[in-house]
Structure 1
Amino acid sequence: MSTNPSGWTPTAPTPSADMVATITGNRALMLEEALIFEIGDNESTGVDFDTSGVPESKLANLVRSSPINLPGLSEPQTVRHYTRLSRQNYAIDLGLFPLGSCTMKHNPRLNEKMARLPGFADIHPLQPQETVQGAYQLIDTLAHWLIKLTGMHSVAMSPKAGAHGELCGILAIRAALEARGDARSVVLVPESAHGTNPATAAFAGYKVEDIPATAEGRVDLAALKARLGPDVAAVMITNPNTCGLFEPEMKAISDAVHAAGGLVYCDGANFNAIVGRVRPGDLGIDAMHINLHKTFSTPHGGGGPGSGPVVMSQALSPYAPLPYVERDGEGYRLVEEETAHDQGSDSFGRMVAFHGQMGMFTRALSYILSHGADGLRQVAEDSVLNANYVLRSLEDVLDAPFAFSGPCMHEAIFSDKGFADGFSTIDLAKALIDEGFHPMTMYFPLVVHGAMLIEPTETASKASLDQFIIALRSIAERARAGDQALHDAPIYAPRRRLDETLAARKPVLAYKTRAPDGADSGAGVGVGGG
């Protein structure tokens, strides 16, 4: 690749027969972009200050004692830099996001508008309670909806995300067992559960033991019953599970655990597949977190925001965390730790400094009220319909290990079985980028070799699914035929395939310029990549 007049070398892919080499590294309107340290330099600034005639005494506290080693850019340079970078992102507003288990669906703009209303967007956790009555009412209304939809007794609204909600449920279970003088040491986690389940149990101080899955991808009930005993505190089960399958023996599982003196935690991350159709409380579940950012809007790509309220059975409700909102005469109040102790609460304590995620609460309630009970039922039906459409449209070119056991729920799972030697899931996923789609979840769950987990969600249209299916079918057929070109994918992305092993073992976490003598100057931190 040629070096341009500004002195930096474009890092676009090396030109091949199907690409056009350019001096700039640009390819049509997809503009090549250097690192910000390569665009500017730390000897200049984008703003000029006239200090002539200003007494030195007035500048004393403003003069830097050492260079900050940040590049100086003008405003147009800065805006263009970040805009060009943003154009290299994939987003739900650009197309289908098929990540399995993540529920990356369209987020209605109405929800965003509601979250930005004055009184919600600008609320402060230290405001006097009388000034936030509307916010408390919203939290209380959302809580009642969550209780109604799940058939549970109460809900803790403060957990910030799914894994935080899991910890909340497990701590409540531990508190309940200790209150009856029956502290136990083991939590059972099926192979088909989310990976955060065993991590949460271990973090809470429990020993974790696996429960195997059947050939149909469900919990082996016989193996579970055989392991139950006086040392088992709980079972953590994901339903629908990570293979995209509903656990039809959930009630039998709950009954067996309860008979052995344990309690049942359900990972509710996949609640969008059953909302409005199944009430977890009717299945004997004692605690379940609900990812508001998955079931009730606001897809959480990029690390947030999130919210994971935990619904609880009557047996666990006394041990729920503080604080919580309750109706107080004509208004609402936040029940804090000190007042709760006066009332004899058995709460295990506080998980967060403040109550919860106000923006997430507002979006979720807006979503629920917009749909209503009938609309939420359709959410579940459409998510299941879309996933099964993908499953049945691809099962003849991709191995679907559980297709024989009946319909899936919200997501379809495939394996790399049948690919030519030397080809794997990573080749298919990288080729999918060239077709303009974000890859599906890869190599998860671990119970399926070379797993490809696809969740189209309820907001994908048939037209968009058909386009996705056509692209995936074509790539799958190439992988089965051993098309060597797949090893080079992606070809048309801003960057070619990375050496992921090297990136993981030797990540470059800081950008360093080179001084004329070849030594590192140390300028610029926190921007590089593996």
Structure 2
Amino acid sequence: MNRTIKQLEYGESFIERHIGPSAEQRQQMLEIIGAKSLDELTQFIVPADIQLPHPPATGDAQTEHQALAELKAIAEQNQRYKSYIGMGYNAVLTPPVILRNMLENPGWYTAYTPYQPEVSQGRLEALLNFQQMTQDLTGLDLASASLLDEATAAAEAMAMAKRASKLKLANSFFVAEDVHPQTIDVVKTRAEAFGFNVIVGPASHVLNHSDLFGALVQLTGTTGELHDDSALLQQLKQRGVITCMAADIMSLVLLESPATMGADVVFGSSQRFGVPMGYGGPHAAFFACRDEFKRSMPGRIIGVSKDAAGNTALRMAMQTREQHIRREKANSNICTSQVLLANIAGFYAVYHGPTGLKRIAQRIHRLTDILAAGLQQKGLTLRHQSWFDTLCVEIADKAAVLTRALSFGVNLRADLDGAVGISLDETTTVDDLNTLFDILCGDHADIDIDVLDRQCITQSQSIPAALLRQTPILTHPVFNSYHSETEMMRYMHRLERKDLALNQAMIPLGSCTMKLNAAAEMIPITWPEFAELHPFCPPEQATGYQILLGQLSQWLAQITGYDAVCMQPNSGAQGEYAGLLTIRRYHESRGQGNRHICLIPSSAHGTNPASAQMAGMSVVVVDCDKQGNVDLQDLRAKAQQSGDELSCIMVTYPSTHGVYEETIREVCNIVHQFGGQVYLDGANMNAQVGITTPGYIGADVSHLNLHKTFSIPHGGGGPGMGPIGVKKHLAPFVPGHSVVQLEGVITHQGAVSAAPFGSASILPISWMYIHMMGAEGLKMASQVAILNANYIARRLKDAYPVLYYGVDGLVAHECILDIRPLKEECGITEMDIAKRLIDYGFHAPTMSFPVAGTLMVEPTESESKVELDRFIDAMLAIRSEIRRVHSGEWPLDDNPLVNAPHVQGELVHEWNHPYSRDLAVFPSQAVFHNKYWPTVKRLDDVYGDRNLFCSCVPVGEYR
């Protein structure tokens, strides 16, 4: 009765808002499939021995307004202190034009990774801007389109240095002791798995070590000191050591480029270019290197290429999907970058331009100089004589000063022996300086800031002359054209229109779950109570976050059937890595560190073997049978052959082939029988929630893609979150953190992310989703995802063979359409169909994965029958077009499929094709009423690979 009253007060259930097909539509679809109800359909498809007797008890569904009100009350328990902690995290002023038109805009945050470049030119240009910004600030030849965070980037730099080093017998990596502690933590974790020796010490001692393949220094040390390591880096390079440098992005506006100092690799966080701290993330790391190392570079790189008409077009270049192609030989398992956050940082640079950025950086430094002069005037001692924005102040009674700071609502850095740290930022004001003087020097310190300012202007030498930047930055027109809000708004909108996102159409990608990212879920991420917290603030200031993390962890544990959840990994691939490290540490704790073999089915996602390699494991591939199931005979033979070296198996469920394998429990039992652990990949959790759980099936650990199953948006290729669920025996071995120690934390192991809870500020999205769906809605979401996939499979099976079915003749939440017979029959490929779908207003399904020559379709539960029918009609119309090619009506080299996609300019160009313009660009009535226009024709991949160019396009082509 109370629930009914609440619904009358607050409105309708969110469940029917999230789930696309109405009750009537669901019934129509069930009739076509041959089932009476969703429950009966589930009984047909999911093996009986793994079905839960009842869904996990995650509570009743809440309305949008109820959940928002409850979460707001939780958020208000966070205390918004002014944090000067620094350590790579700073308060920011996000330009409102970027906040409203990008971060809060589904045209940007619901887009998919730009694997289909023809429908991604807008975000590809924005990422190219980010790369150009990185190249300009670092002075290096090549930049990536972002990594997960600064500490991850450091670990990637170390791994890259080892790959690129010509000193093949060297096995040590030196890290300067004033690198941020969280960075050292993550580097040590990565090195442990690779078997590298990490040496931490004063940078001046690096030359004392002879076994080095690489070395890492930090341009602006963690306590604020500026380092001119030019001579040191030169000597290291003469020895063949790869030199890496961490750098603060704002300081690079004023400081000479690291490349000029001799660094081979430069990385850091772009957070302070407009991205809120958010209790640790998501934040995009920048990463750059010299051209000679480009083939070893981790992550994604955007390159300038040509389309079929010879026009400039952008695409992901080089090793974009190398983790799928090279698998266990991959450079990295990173397949999710931080695109949304990189684009915010890039737009921040575009909006402010070089002059605006210099003004911001100079103001921060000027305020720091004033603070330093005032403190010294009052007799306090500074630990260093150079700085950009951070001071290390020697304090006799540190506890008293820290207590006093808290009474003023201020956080200072507290982990330094005999000193406090103070990092200023673009939000700092003159009033803030007065408060800091009162904290450190006593009330009414009587310091004349105007006098100090005049002194600093003429006398300051806090940046050594040798470190002052001489080289220009951001000279490209894109950074010098959009400084009014009107122009900036229009530029962002122009890029947005080039892309296809969920606000335009269904994105039917198999294995990537492009479901609704509801507005009510997204609203809380910009609340200041969540956005403004520093990840290393005192825990009592983050009570709201702890409540949210506790509730979300409990819900995820119930949903997965595990005993504990670690929230640290900030991507799915990093979750895989963290889970495998957990297994590795567990075996080592039992004196079985020799267990190193990871069994992986041949159908596995490419990040699985890449993650196993990163975790120091040896990959052994297990065969699949003709139905796509794990071959039990081969599994048993290889598990037995591995013997006491078997560490684990990585298996995806439902399988990557889109089927609930009947023998999944037996798979788990075989691995356990030989002493291994079961890692169940959470990529397809969208078809498990409420129906079964990994823990119930028999798995020991899984990662969860919150950016898939639990509604965090893909953001054009990131952010993501990949927390891991574990059974009780593995809980002590999940990643911990060296900086933040919280009561009740279950582990003290090394970290995999810079922040203790990864990208914490996007966790409210999943909290809202689970709370608004409730146990009933979560189960229905899985069932409707299954319903939608089977509806598509049933309606398309006569036109396109469905490659894999379960024993019941049905699929799971995705289906694989076999295009190979059509290619053999008439030469039309899955690529041609994918590009022709753009003309019909759709993003393509997943191409050639997990089977070459196929299309994998996952409709998700959020798409209505109307949208499913529009997609089905498009696929059937394309099949009719293929028949016209096969019949000879259209030649194989000149038809709507091989020429797709068609751009608007072709309407006014000379037309010499055997099909009409109308059919080319308006192939259906639905398209006629709502046309998406791609801005480029099919990309020339061969040209892009042979002519690698990864900077902003030349000025002559820019307009």
Q: Same fold, TM exceeding 0.5?
A: yes
In the alignment, the residues of structure 1 paired with residue 585 and residue 699 of structure 2 have an alpha-carbon distance, to the nearest angstrom, of: 17
Distance 1:150 1:68, change over 3 A: closer
Q: Report the CA distance between 1:138 and its aligned residue.
A: 0.5
1:4 corresponds to: none
Match of 1:151 among 561, 568, 571: 561
Deviations 1:423-468 (A, max 9, x none): 21110011000111111111111xx231201111110000000011
* Aligned residue among 451, 455, 461 for 2:864: 461
Deviations 1:83-118 (A, max 9, x none): 222111111011101111111111111111122223
Q: CA deviation at 1:369?
A: 0.4
Q: Shift in Å at residue 506 of structure 1?
A: 2.0
Matches within 5 A, 1:62-101: 66=472, 68-71=474-477, 72-73=480-481, 75=484, 76-101=486-511
Task: State the match for 1:389 in structure 2.
Answer: 791
Give yes or no for contact 2:307–2:938 (8 Å, CA) kept in 1: no
CA distance in 1, matches of 2:792, 2:801: 13
1:422 shift after superposition: 2.4
Whether contact under 8 Å (1:388, 1:409) holds in the other structure is yes
Instruction: Map residues 256-267 of structure 1 onto 2, 5 A cutoff.
Output: 256-267=670-681
Whole-Å separation in 2 of the counterparts to 1:239 and 1:12 = 38
Q: Kindly report which structure 2 residues correspond to 1:405-416, keeping only aligned pairs within 5 A, or say none.
A: 405=807, 406-416=809-819
Answer whether contact 2:308 2:939 (CA < 8 A) is retained: no
Q: Please, which of 506, 512, 526 is the counterpart of residue 947 of structure 2?
A: 506
Structure ranking higher in helix proportion? 2
Once the 2 structures are TM-superposed, how far is the Cα of residue 64 of structure 1 from its aligned partner?
A: 8.3
- The aligned counterpart of 1:53 is none
Q: Which residue of 2 aligns with 1:370?
A: 772
**1:240 touches 1:270 (CA, 8 Å); kept in 2?**
yes
- Is structure 2 residue 719 aligned with structure 1 residue 305? yes
C-alpha change, 1:450 and 1:14, in structure 2 (3 Å) is closer
Give runs of aligned pairs for residues 270-419 of structure 1, distance below 5 A: 270-323=684-737, 335=741, 347-355=748-756, 356-403=758-805, 405=807, 406-419=809-822
Q: Structure 2: how far apart are the matches of 1:424 and 1:222?
A: 35
TM-superposed CA distance for 1:81, in Å, is 3.0
Of 604, 622, 637 in structure 2, the residue corresponding to residue 211 of structure 1 is: 622
| Gap change, CA 1:137 and 1:511, over 3 Å in 2 | closer
Amino acid corresponding to residue 804 of structure 2 in structure 1: F
1:301 to 1:428, Cα distance in 2 relative to 1, 3 A: farther
Classify the secondary structure of the residue corresponding to 1:171: helix
- Whole-Å separation in 1 of the counterparts to 2:471 and 2:669: 69
Query: Matched residue of 1:126: which SS?
Result: coil
Aligned match of 1:121 = 531
Q: Is the 8 A contact 1:425 1:450 kept in 2?
A: yes
Cα 1:490/1:309, change in 2 over 3 Å: same
The letter of the residue matching 1:190 is P
Match of 1:436 in 2: 841
User: How far has the Cα of 1:66 moved from its partner?
Assistant: 4.9
Deviations for 1:174-231, whole angstroms, at most 9, x for unmatched residues? 1111111112121100012211111100111111111111111111111101111222
- Aligned-partner Cα distance in 1 for 2:628–2:883: 25
Kept in 1: contact 2:659–2:805 (CA 8 A): no
In 1, Cα distance between equivalents of 2:803 and 2:869: 22
For 2:469 and 2:704, the matched residues in 1 are separated by: 52
Change (3 A) 1:480 1:178: farther
Residues 77, 150 of structure 1: alpha-carbon distance in 2 compared, 3 angstrom cutoff? closer
Residues 513, 860 of structure 2: 8 Å contact kept? yes
Conserved in 1, the CA contact under 8 Å of 2:658 and 2:804?
A: no
Unaligned runs of 5+ in 1: 1-10, 16-39, 47-57, 325-332, 514-522
Which residue pairs with 1:452 in the alignment? 855
- Structure 2 partner of 1:51: none
Letter of the aligned partner of 1:354 in structure 2? A
SS in 1 for 2:492: helix
List gaps (5 residues or longer) in structure 2.
1-305, 311-349, 357-456, 461-467, 904-933
Could you tell me how far apart the structure 1 residues matched to 2:754 and 2:473 are?
37
Indicate if the aligned counterparts of 1:273 and 1:410 stay in contact, CA closer than 8 A.
Answer: yes
Instruction: Name the TM-score, length of structure 2 as normaliser.
Output: 0.45
One-letter identity of the residue aligned with 2:671: V
Percentage of matched positions with identical amino acids? 38
Provide the rounded CA distance (Å) in 1 between the counterparts of 2:863 and 2:838.
18
What residue in structure 2 maps to residue 255 of structure 1? 669
Segment of structure 1 superposing worse, 167-176 or 498-507: 498-507
Are residue 494 (structure 1) and residue 935 (structure 2) matched? yes
The match for 1:170 is: 580
Alpha-carbon RMSD: 3.2
- Matched position secondary structure for 2:789: helix
Shift, 1:404, TM fit: 6.9
Residue by residue, what CA displacement relative to the aligned partner does 1:282-335 show, whole Å, maximum 9, x if unpaired? 1110100011111111231422111111000122112122149xxxxxxxx964
| Paired residue secondary structure (2:826) | coil
In 1, Cα distance between equivalents of 2:732 and 2:711: 30
Could you list the per-position Cα deviations for residues 47-70 of structure 1 after superposition, in whole angstroms to 9, with x for gaps in the alignment?
A: xxxxxxxxxxx99x9998757523
* Counterparts of 2:472 and 2:945, CA distance in 1: 34
Counterparts in 2 of 1:175 and 1:508: CA distance versus 1, 3 Å? same
Which is bigger in relative contact order (C-alpha 8 A, separation at least 6)? 2
User: Aligned in 2, Cα 1:213/1:78: closer, same or farther, shift over 3 Å?
Assistant: same
In 2, Cα distance between equivalents of 1:138 and 1:404:
39
Give the secondary-structure state (helix, strand or coil) at the position aligned to 1:488. Answer: coil
Report the counterpart of residue 657 of structure 2 in structure 1.
243
Secondary structure of 1:504 counterpart = helix
Residues 648 and 679, structure 2, Cα contact 8 Å, conserved in 1: yes
> In structure 2, what is the Cα distance between the partners aligned to 1:163 and 1:512?
32
Asked whether the equivalents of residues 104 and 301 of structure 1 are also in contact (C-alpha less than 8 Å), the reply is: no
Displacement of 1:348: 3.5
Deviates further, 417-426 or 69-78: 69-78
Distance 2:583 2:469 in 1: 57
Deviations 1:31-82 (A, max 9, x none): xxxxxxxxx9xxx999xxxxxxxxxxx99x9998757523242634444333
- The one-letter code of the counterpart of 1:503 is G
The answer to whether the 8 Å contact 1:150/1:311 transfers is yes
TM-score (ref. length: structure 1): 0.80
1:294 alignment partner AA: K
What residue is the counterpart of 1:518 in the other structure? none
Counterpart in 2 of 1:425? Answer: 830
CA–CA distance in structure 1, aligned partners of residues 524 and 671 of structure 2: 42
CA distance in 2, matches of 1:109, 1:437: 22
Q: 1:372–1:66: structure 2 CA closer, same or farther, 3 Å change rule?
A: closer
Deviation at 1:236, TM superposition (A): 0.4
